[in-house]
Structure 1
Amino acid sequence: MALLFFGKDPNTNGDDCPTVWVDDASADLVLQGWKADAGTETECLAVGHIPDTEAVIRIPARMVPLIRKACDAAEQRGRPAVR
């Protein structure tokens, strides 16, 4: 597995901040974000259980351009090759 780096939160110092990658093999998005606060997690639980293997994270809206680029790349990688 190789992760393609798309960027970190542009309004931080570059350390310990939300980050966006795409898994080169599966085309999955990989996101590092802030842990959601208890209130946010409670609201999320209203629509279903959060398994131990999952987490609710918060990504700042200012990262939408990075996520959009990562989504475009993931979509391209996830398509079968055209012959």
Structure 2
Amino acid sequence: MSLQFIGIDPQTDDDESPTVWVDRGKGELVFQGWKPSPELEAECAAHELPGHAVGIPDTEAVVRIPARMVDVIREACDALEGGDHIR
């Protein structure tokens, strides 16, 4: 796997670093974010969605990303769609 760095939380410090990468080979966005509180994770797991079982599969995770990273996420989407907006 070859990850392409797109951006990091603009307000990051040494202890936190929500980050966005692109994996072009798999056509995926890859996020590093904060772990949710147990309450938030339980709330996400409790939602019943059409066509999906209740709960969070062992192969998935809930990740929190700050809203201030919307531009970085858009940039990652553009990169996957063939845009040349890579830093």
Q: Shorter-normalised TM-score: what interval?
A: 0.7 to 0.9
Greater strand content: 1
Give the 3 Å change call, closer, same or farther, for CA 50–8 of structure 1 in structure 2.
same
| CA RMSD between the two structures | 1.7
Structure 1: tracts of 5 or more residues without a match: 78-83
Deviates more, 1:28-37 or 1:46-55: 46-55
Question: Counterpart of 1:13 in 2: which secondary structure?
Answer: coil
**TM-score of the aligned structures, taking structure 1 as reference length:** 0.82
**TM-score of the aligned structures, taking structure 2 as reference length:** 0.79
Greater helix content: 1
Aligned residues: 77
Q: Percent identity?
A: 58
Structure 2: tracts of 5 or more residues without a match: 48-53
Runs of 4+ that moved beyond 4 A: none
